Amino acid sequence: MESKSLNQGLGAAKAAKQDEFYTQYVDIQKEVEAYLEFDPDTFRGKVVYCNCDDPFESNFFKYFAANFNKLGLKKLITTSYDGSPIAGQLTLFPEYNEGNGKRQKPKALAVILDQVKDEDGDGAANVTDVELFLKRNKAARIALKGNDKYPGGDFRSPECVALLKEADIVVTNPPFSLFREYVAQLVEHGKKFLIIGNKNAITYKETFPLIKDNKLWLGVINGGDGGPVQHSLRHQGPSRGRRS
């Protein structure tokens, strides 16, 4: 009953756009480049998982897809939440279109990239090429159905946990209402992560001891406009230096 209530609350919050706001591209770039200052190969050969990100709109997906080759990624995985109010707005994939041209109800998807090539032959590999690749390779996108406890794309669902186990580094903006549970899952699985959350998260009893013990530290984002004040948090990164 408690899980059902949490799922209903998460769905309602997302529909009302109260549970999270979408991180700006420039902020993601700033955070990642702070890592690269310490080690240019931070992400090289790694599987990056953005597990709270609709691939149609997420700037996390856009950033890592656009910089896939520059960062030397092995794989990029992103998963969307079933019922997200923005999922599929760009109708990138044909399964989001009905015969009359209207978009179907959004469904959860996992989008998986293991390469980014020059698909359009313009001499550069960028997000446009990613779109073409995904259109041409249906195997790169997988429907997430969830189970009787969690809807498709929920980070706690068995499908998403399986993807999490495959990941080396998790980068995202998790739902504020489930922040404690989200961080606990990442720590339980021993994952390196870079996440952006509400500034109050650093005071949580589940979070503060990790900061105190230097297992979790502040990133370069410290405040923000256009939404709840942000803080970025890093865990088990390549450098133990603090940035604020």
Q: In the chain, what percentage of residues exceed pLDDT 70?
A: 71
Mean of the pLDDT values across residues 144-152? 90
pTM of the entire structure? 0.78
Query: What phi-psi label fits residue 223: left (phi over 0), alpha (psi between -120 and 50 degrees) or beta?
Result: left
- Dihedral (Cα; 173, 46, 154, 141), 10-degree rounding: 110
Is the model's pLDDT at 14 over the cut of 50? no
- Dist. CA 144–CA 67, nearest whole Å: 26
Tens digits of per-residue pLDDT, 25-46?
A: 888 898 888 888 888 999 999 9
Single-letter residue type at 156: R
Is the model's pLDDT at 62 over the cut of 60? yes
Mean of the pLDDT values across residues 13-31? 65
Greatest mean pLDDT among 20-29, 95-104, 171-180, 192-201 lies in: 171-180
Greatest mean pLDDT among 154-163, 181-190, 206-215 lies in: 154-163
Nearest to 106 by CA among 80, 131, 88, 79: 88
Is the model's pLDDT at 89 over the cut of 90? no
Mean of the pLDDT values across residues 182-188? 90
* Residue that wins the pLDDT comparison between 138 and 83: 138
* Residue that wins the pLDDT comparison between 184 and 127: 184
Is residue 134 helix, strand or coil? Answer: helix
Mean of the pLDDT values across residues 219-233? 52
Q: Which residues touch 116 (CB under 8 Å, ≥6 apart)?
A: 65, 68, 69, 125, 129, 130, 133
Mean of per-residue pLDDT scores for the chain: 76
User: What pLDDT does 30 receive?
Assistant: 87
Is the model's pLDDT at 204 over the cut of 70? yes
